Amino acid sequence: MNYLMVGSIMGLIVVVLGAFGAHGLKEILSEYEKSIYNKAVLYQMFHTIAILLVGVLNKIDSSLELFIPGFCFFIGIIIFSGSLFIIAITGIKSFGMITPLGGLFFIFGWITLMLKTI
């Protein structure tokens, strides 16, 4: 997987979502919903940078085999940030049941990145 491309796309998406939240939703969301939305943006940005890091490391040393950490960061963004975006916008709190699964993908991504780069 081309993690530089994936990271670039995720970066584009997070900037658009951040701007949409700050401008398009500022009068619609409650303070609590804004805090959830902002947490989704924050974690997506952190892990987009992690995906880009994986892409750069793969370019430097392709023998590191960093598919798993990059994939975990990507899936973590989809599940963690995605569920928070849905909760903030729709108010359907039952999506919160899957949010921790996304967090586990983030954790596993960081652990596997650490183990692959030792």
Residue 87 to residue 73: CA distance in whole angstroms: 20
* Type and span of the H or E element at 50: helix 31-60
What pLDDT, in 10s, does the model give residues 90-110? 999 999 999 999 999 999 999
> Other CB atoms closer than 10 Å to residue 68's CB: what's the count?
16
Cα–Cα distance, 109 to 113 (Å, whole number) = 6
pLDDT at 99: 98
Give per-residue pLDDT as tens, 2-50: 999 999 999 999 999 999 999 999 999 999 999 999 999 999 999 999 9
- Identity of residue 35: S
pTM: 0.96
